[in-house]
Amino acid sequence: MAEPITIAAITGLVTLMTAYMTYRRDLAKGAADGSPVPTQTGDVQQGELVAQVVEPGITTYGTDDEKADLTAFVRNPDRYANQIAQVLSDLASRTPAFAQDLQHVAAQTNSVQTGGVTGTSTVHGDNLGQSFGVVSGGTIIQTNTSDRRR
């Protein structure tokens, strides 16, 4: 049995697909109003490969709500990227064939960073709590919360 697809792989796939969907939307807008044609980057090309797996996968295996999430993502990829990541995670967990397709395209596009991320955080004082980070546009945003008040 294949290993389950990781959150890192899904995040990488959604990032590539977001680049492609944004390009596709901007290309259509340019054709309609004569604005400049966007540049097709490597992420856009890889995102197209991802979309060729994801769109038919959601159409075939997805619920009506998941299909609606895909429609919203195509219209506004930046706004609905988190929802489409959740859809991919849900579908992969209940549909092994789709999970395997996602693993294959993740390997094909090398969309998962395997080397890890290294960083340093120095905390001073006695007001310590949980710390977590999220990647947004290639930047890690760190949030700290405190369990104790001074």
More confident residue, 3 or 100: 100
Tell me, what amino acid is at 139? T
Residue ranges of the alpha helices (H) in the chain? 7-33, 42-61, 64-75, 77-94, 96-109
Q: Which of 21, 20, 1, 5 is nearest to 87 (CA)?
A: 5
DSSP state of 138: T
Q: What is the mean pLDDT of the chain?
A: 80
pLDDT digits (tens, 9 = 90+) for 56-82: 999 999 999 999 999 999 999 999 999
What is the mean predicted confidence (pLDDT) over 29-46? Answer: 88
More confident residue, 89 or 127: 89
